[in-house]
Structure 1
Amino acid sequence: MTKISEDLMLSNYQAKTKQTGNNILGKDDFLKILITQLQNQDPTSPMQDREFIAQMASFSSLEQMTNMNQTMQQFLTFQTEASLLQQSQMIGKHVTYETETVDSEGNKKIEEKEAVVKSVLFEKGSVQLELSDGTKITSFQVIKISDQAK
């Protein structure tokens, strides 16, 4: 008779936790180190005022950089959303765009193509226009926009 290992039982399953691998000290870590240093300093030779002020200035700078990073992340999110909304005005428009192709001899050349914008999506870190033929392009490739085909 085959025996099922207890390791395979649901009650023994341990979900894998995602590890970020972030080895960078944050502002909370810096503050803990500073407090530990103050608690464990030699009473006969306390930290000099200049050293303490320098460490506090470093802590303040670290906190401001952290706040600025969070603000920049929010700004980038808003910019992406704004770009997506702005590009949505292109839906239903006829566009002429440039695309790079390679001929039979291996030479690169720029071709102009035309299509109607079917949808706008955020993909691969940028806003993409999906065309009626299924092609996806960026707005940087568009050289002409019109309401309807010729």
Structure 2
Amino acid sequence: MADTSINNLTGVLSQSSRISSSQSSSNNTLGKQEFLNLLVTQLRYQDPLKPMEDKEFVAQLAQFSALEQMQNLNESFELIKAQNMIGRYVVATNPSDTSKTVEGRVDSIRVDGSKIYLKVNGVEVTTENIKQIYHTYAEEVLSDIMTKVPTKDDLLNILDSLQKGEDSK
């Protein structure tokens, strides 16, 4: 009984590895498609006399759904991260010549499938190419001004000291 399960599992894994190796040779992580292929292959090679338990199947479908939701969340996070870089000054590796860098303000972003490109000085770079991110000059000036603006308590103290100075005359 245990030998049959091990043999079925070995067959499933070898079939799945052949399928997924052709689809994701450059990527060592399992994605939605590989997980679905593994599930279908497991169903195809299961022992007809001992079919998969309902609980196991439901658990695997739940894992598949969780994997899909995590990938969607990751894509959304990457897009938000790229949107927050618009207007920022960045230094990035030039995609056409990795020995050079591109510097400048991020003008726009472009989404192409799952890839996000940032336009810096007319050159499109991916978020993976970004080496440094700086605040823009306007943010630095605004931050500097905000630190120099007196607070309400400072103004009340100044007013109070002026009133005391007038009272002593």
**TM-score, length-normalised on structure 1?**
0.51
Distance change in 2, residues 1:65/1:129 (3 Å): same
Could you tell me which of 91, 96, 100 is aligned with 1:96? 91
1:55 corresponds in structure 2 to 51
- List gaps (5 residues or longer) in structure 1: 1-21, 31-36, 38-50, 103-108
Distance change in 2, residues 1:101/1:114 (3 Å): same
Deviating runs (4+, > 4 A) in structure 1?
22-26
2:63 corresponds in structure 1 to 68
Task: Letter of the 2:71 partner, please give it.
Answer: L
Alignment of 1:117-132 (within 5 A): 117-132=106-121
Alignment of 1:1-150 (within 5 A): 54-57=50-53, 59-101=54-96, 110-133=99-122, 135-148=123-136
Distance change in 2, residues 1:112/1:122 (3 Å): same
| Deviation (angstroms), 1:78 | 1.3
Count, aligned residues: 99
Larger strand proportion of the pair: 1
Distance change in 2, residues 1:146/1:56 (3 Å): closer
Give the alignment's Cα RMSD to 1 decimal: 3.4
Q: Deviations over 1:26-49 (max 9, x none)?
A: 9xx99xxxxxx8xxxxxxxxxxxx
| Deviation (angstroms), 1:100 | 5.0
Q: Deviations over 1:25-74 (max 9, x none)?
A: 59xx99xxxxxx8xxxxxxxxxxxxx5xx4253x4322321221122111
| Deviation (angstroms), 1:127 | 2.4
CA distance in 2, matches of 1:143, 1:117: 13
**Paired residues of 1:96 and 1:112 also in contact (CA < 8 A):** yes
Distance change in 2, residues 1:100/1:81 (3 Å): closer
Larger helix proportion of the pair: 2
**TM-score, length-normalised on structure 2?**
0.46
